[in-house]
Structures are given as C-alpha cells and as structure tokens.
Structure 1
Amino acid sequence: MADSARGYRLAEAVARRSGRTYHLAARLLPSDRRRAIHALYAYARLADDIVDDPGAPLEQAHALDAMESGLRSAVAGASADGVSRDAADILAALAESVDRFQIPMNTFAAFNRSMRMDLPGDPLFRNRYVDFADLAEYTYGSAAVIGLQLLPVLGADVADPDVAAGAALLGDAFQLTNFLRDVGEDAARDRIYLPLRELAAFGVDEQALFHDAATHHTSEPLRRGVAHLIAVNRDQYRRTRGAIAALPPRTRPAIVAAARSYSAILVQIEAQDHDVLARRAVVPVRRRIGHAVASLSGRP
C-alpha cells in the first residue's frame, strides 16, 4: 500500500535537492499548500529525469506511461503499478493533493505530451523550434500548465481568465529563463530550445551554436541573441504582475519570491557578459533569501 506521508517527505527532498528556488519560495506557504507544491514539483522532476537521463527511448516511453497511468490509478484510489516504491509514494501524495485542491487532471496529460516531445523515436519528438509560436506547443505542457496547476493550490480564482493567462505566462517565463541558462546542457543532448528564427537575426544558426557549445565559448553573435531573448523574457515577467497581484495575500509572497529569484538569473547572465556556455548562471543563496524576505510585502 502506497504511503502518502512518506511520499510528501520524498517530494520535499526532491524539491530541496533539485528545485532550490521553488523550495525556498514554498516555505512561505501554509504547510498543506507547501506539501502540494512539493508533490507537483517531484512529479515533474521524475518525469523530466526520465527523458533527460541517457537510455533507450522505448524504455523511457514505457516509464513515462507508467508514471501517467500510476497517477490516474492513485487518484482513483488504486495502486500504482510499474513504478518504484518511492515513485508510488510520491504519486499517492500527489493524488491526495489533486483531490484536496481539485487540480485538473488534463494538465498532467498536457505535461506528459511535452515530455514525449523530448523523446527520440516518439511520434511527437521535437528538438528544434523555429519561432516562439512553434515553441509554445512544447512550453504549454512543460511550463504553462504547471502555472495552471498551482492556481487552485494557491487559492486563486481559477475562473478568472486574466489570472489563468498570467499563471500560464509565468510558467513560460520560468521556462525561457531555464532555456537561456541551460543552452550548453541542452546542446549536449542535441536540443535547441531557443527559437532558431530569433537567433538567426543575430547570425547564429545551428552549426554556430553547436560549435560554441562544443568549445564552451559564447561567440559575440550568440551573446547578442541571448541579450535579445533576455529582453523578451523580462517582458514576459512584466506582463505577469497583474495576475500575481490578484493572488490571495496569504499565498502571493511565495510566487513573488519565485518570480524575483528566477528573473534574477537573467541578471546573472548579464553579469557574465551573456556568456551562457562557460559556466551556469546561479543566483546566490543569500540573494534568494533576500527575495523571499522582500516578497512578504506582497508587491510583485
């Protein structure tokens, strides 16, 4: 029998280890909502690890299927088959949170669809994106729906279209920040998430990007492309402020803290002269704690 209490503890450990910004921000939430955030994060992390770790695509696809069907079983009160004990307990915790906060199950289907887009051999597989409209097919499931999953956990008005749009956009903003920070890691997996048409405007094509990644040297054209995409990303964060301000005062500081800390990664990239390949841009712990303290004012 799956142990949801143990699942919550495992999920919190996953968030603490792999999602330090989210883990710190979640500490500003009441315990039941914080545990739900950890369960959501752990599910996403487990699925992401399945597609990111080297392996046979068919086996990875089966593992994703098992996670998805395991969650459906857990929500229905049945046991999750085909997953590890740890995963089964995390799924039990997530199912409990799904029921408690009425998190829409269709968001998990959208998330898993995007995970399959990362799997070579899958009919949905993509590892290049032409423009932002093209990329949105991927980020809707990988990021936007996560923002939508958080709304009921945060006690937000899920029926407000402006709040929902802002939550989805904030997920997209976090994702683009990830893409900018992780250009080298993604290239090592033969993935380019930065829209190629945006890079082409600065003289960067696939060959040039992979050459830079292989030499760990960010060329001047790529630096200019990164600077442009940082401006796009900052505009995304700016356009989420209204939706963040509409969140309940009790839960708003957690999202304010996460948005401040994540957008601060862009500042770090700029401090490195837009060099995204020599070293990973990281926001110091002290600064993230400062963001958490400042967020208590509730101002986005």
Structure 2
Amino acid sequence: MDTDLAAAYDRCRELHRRHGRTYYLATGLLPAWKRRHVHALYGFTRYADEIVDRIEDTSPDERAARLDDWSARFLAGLGGAPVDDPLLPAVLHTIAVFDLDRADFAAFLRSMAMDLTVTSYRTYDDLLDYMEGSAAVVGTMMLPILGSSDPAAAREPARQLGLAFQLTNFIRDVAEDLGRDRTYLPDEDLAAFGVTREDLLAAVAGRRSTPRIRDLIAYEVTRAQAHYAAAAPGIPLLAPGSQACMRTAYALYGGILDEVAAQGYDVFARRARVSGRRRLAVAGRALLAPAGTPVTLPGPRPKEGLPVHAFGRAGAPS
C-alpha cells in the first residue's frame, strides 16, 4: 500500500478502537488481512455519524452542508476521481477489493441525512425504513469481507444482525438520543404504554425510570431479541475464520440486553455495559467453538405479561 492508503486504514482503525470498543474487540479475532477492511467500513459509518451527531458546535445547516460535501467527495471517489480525505481512500479501496454494492452506501448516506431532519418515527415500519440504511445494509456490506459458504442464505441473517445491533443501541441510549432531540422508540409504542416524550425527558432529568417506561423498554427488548433470533442461522454459514469474531459480537451486543434487564429495564439510572471480564470470557469461548456451531440466543426472558413479537413485513419483527 502507498503511504496515504496505509494512513487512511490506520485512521479508520483508530476511530474503531476509540468509539466501537465491543466490535473492535470482536474484530481482533478475525484473520489479520480482513481486519483493516472491517475498520474501513466502521470508519466510514462512524465518520458520517459524527457529522450528523455533532450538535454542540454546529448548526443543522452546517451539518447538512458537511454531510453533502463529504458524500460528494465519496461519490466522486467511487467514480475514480482523486480523493483528498484522511479516511476515504481506505473505504474506496475496500469497496474495490470486494466489489461491494454501491447501493448499500447510498442507502446508508440517505439514513444519515434523515438524522438531520427526522426526530421521531410514528411506527416500527417507519423506523425500519430508517434502519434499512443505517443498519441492515451494514450487514450486507460486511458479508463479502467475512465470507460465507452460502452468501445467498447468509444475506438476510446479516441484515437482521445489523438491525439487532442497532436496536440494542437505541434501547441502551434513549437518554443520549433525547439529548440530540431524537427518539428511536416508535411513537405508537410510547402511546401503547402510556408514555410521552415529556415522561422520557423527566426520566433523563431525574436519572430514574417509571414502571410504564420500564415496560416500554422491556417490550423493545423483545423486538431486538426477535432480530437476534433471525440473525442466528447466518453465523455458522460464515467463513470459519470469521465465525469467532461474529460469535463474540453477537454475544456481547446481546449481553447489553442482559444488563438492561438486570437493572430492571431502567436505562436512565446508568448506561448498560458488559464488564471487561465477561468480554474476555465471551471471546475465549468463541475462539474455542468449532466452526459451524450454532450460536446461543442472547438476552433475558421476556417480562411476564408483555407481548412477544411475531414476524411481519419483509421478515422483520412487528
């Protein structure tokens, strides 16, 4: 690699190390030649996310202009134009090496643009439309890098895993998202549990949940669990050298749901985290598991009396 390309991969790796600790740990279990490409995709998604989330020192118009400019430089690079950017050379190189679907990247950038103007989602289908670009396509971007014995069969589980990971983040980060004037819990779900946005804001201010909010969070956990269940068949289909990585990521992100349940579904008192000791234990078990071993579904048992989701539109939980 030339110096600029190597520096771009290093920049992506550093973004991953600093901001994606759980996934970064899992990526360390991949063959060395694959890691840089996973770092490149993480760097791409993280940098775009940082543009739209940096609300402290930039106005919405400024963030929109920055996203438009960065997207234009990325698209120009896809067309073969020289790119002056600290990380895009690595992203463009990874896309070329694996012939990744350009439409996935366009869908991702569309969802990032939605974060500049959309502050809530009326229904779960509306939220799924957003997550199609922000999460599901990340699964399909990753699949060619991870490799699979049956890419066609592994495609939908890869999409579902992206959805599971992002919904887990939405559940854990309700307070953080409210700080950006966003809610990713559907309005219809809030209404079903008698919860308003003002109730959520009061919980943030008091650092304490209410019984209705806790039931709402427990309900959303069942949604995430359904996505994990749909993703599970795909991991044994991955290339043997990629399975330990994704077993670890699967278990650790699912472990966040365990932590949410352990604190009584109160996501306001403290941020749910998986301990360092558990992270290392999970990684060790993943390394020892023979290739093709089914994964264990993560997360707590559903709270008694709450509905359990069935599968609806396009195979997604509803």
Q: Residue 273 of structure 1 corresponds to which residue in structure 2? A: 264
TM-score, scaled to structure 1? 0.91
How far apart are the structure 2 equivalents of 1:219 and 1:281? Answer: 17
Q: Does 1:93 align with 2:129?
A: no
Equivalent residues in 2 for 1:61-210 (5 A)? 61-81=64-84, 88-119=85-116, 125-156=117-148, 159-160=151-152, 162-210=153-201
Question: Partner letter of residue 267 of structure 1?
Answer: D
State the SS of the aligned residue for 2:121.
Answer: coil
Q: Deviations over 1:163-214 (max 9, x none)?
A: 2111111101001100000000111111110112223222212222222223
Segment drifting more, 41-50 vs 55-64 = 55-64
Q: Quick one: which amino acid aligns to residue 241 of structure 2?
A: R
Distance 1:202 1:110 in 2: 32
Contact 1:203 1:221 in 2 (8 A): yes
What TM-score do you get using the length of structure 2 for normalisation? 0.86
- Structure 2 stretches of 5 or more lacking a match? 296-318
Rounded to whole Å, the distance in 1 between the matches of 2:70 and 2:23 is 22
CA distance in structure 2 between the partners assigned to 1:228 and 1:213 by the alignment: 19
Whether contact under 8 Å (1:147, 1:171) holds in the other structure is yes
| Deviation (angstroms), 1:255 | 1.0
Q: Give 1:218-229 correspondences, 5 Å limit.
A: 218-229=209-220
The one-letter code sitting in structure 2 at the alignment partner of 1:169 is Q
Distance 2:179 2:250 in 1: 28
Indicate the residue corresponding to 1:232 in structure 2: 223
Alignment of 1:29-68 (within 5 A): 29-54=30-55, 55-68=58-71
Aligned to 1:5: 6
Identity in percent: 40
Tell me the distance in 1 between the aligned counterparts of 2:213 and 2:46.
29
Secondary structure of residue in 2 paired with 1:79: coil
CA 1:2–1:134 in 2, change beyond 3 Å: closer, same or farther?
farther
Q: Which moved more, 1:29-38 or 1:139-148?
A: 29-38
| Alignment partners' CA distance in 1, 2:199 and 2:80 | 51
Whether the 8 Å CA contact 1:144–1:168 is kept in 2: the answer is yes
* 1:99 Cα offset (Å): 0.7
Confirm or deny: 8 A CA contact 2:150 2:237 kept in the other structure: no
Q: Distance in 2 between matches of 1:157 and 1:185?
A: 39
User: Are positions 1:242 and 2:239 aligned together?
Assistant: no
Question: Partners of 1:74 and 1:116 in 2: how far apart?
Answer: 20
In 2, Cα distance between the equivalents of 1:287 and 1:265?
11
Residue number among 214, 237, 251 corresponding to 2:242 in the alignment: 251
User: How far apart are 1:65 and its partner, in Å?
Assistant: 1.8
What amino acid sits opposite 1:263 in the alignment? G
CA distance in 2, matches of 1:201, 1:97: 44
**What is the count of residue pairs matched by the alignment?**
288
Q: Which moved more, 1:7-16 or 1:61-70?
A: 61-70
The whole-number CA distance in structure 2 between the counterparts of 1:24 and 1:276 is 24
| Alpha-carbon spacing, 1:205–1:158, altered in 2? closer, same or farther (3 Å) | farther
Q: Is the CA contact 1:218–1:278 (under 8 Å) kept in the aligned structure 2?
A: yes
Residue-by-residue CA offset, 1:10-69 (whole Å, 9 max, x unaligned):
111111110011111111112221101001101111110111111122221121122222
Secondary structure of the residue aligned to 1:99 is: helix
Distance change >3 Å, CA 93–CA 257, structure 1 → 2: same
Please show how residues 8-23 of structure 1 align to structure 2 within 5 Å.
8-23=9-24
Structure-2 change in CA distance of 1:59 and 1:158 (3 Å): farther
Where do 5+ consecutive residues of structure 1 fail to align? 82-87, 120-124
CA displacement 1:76-120 (0-9 Å, x = unmatched): 443225xxxxxx13110111111111111111110010011111x
Question: What does residue 84 of structure 1 align with?
Answer: none
Query: Quick check: 1:151–1:158 contact (8 Å CA) kept in 2?
Result: no
CA distance in 2, matches of 1:282, 1:22: 13
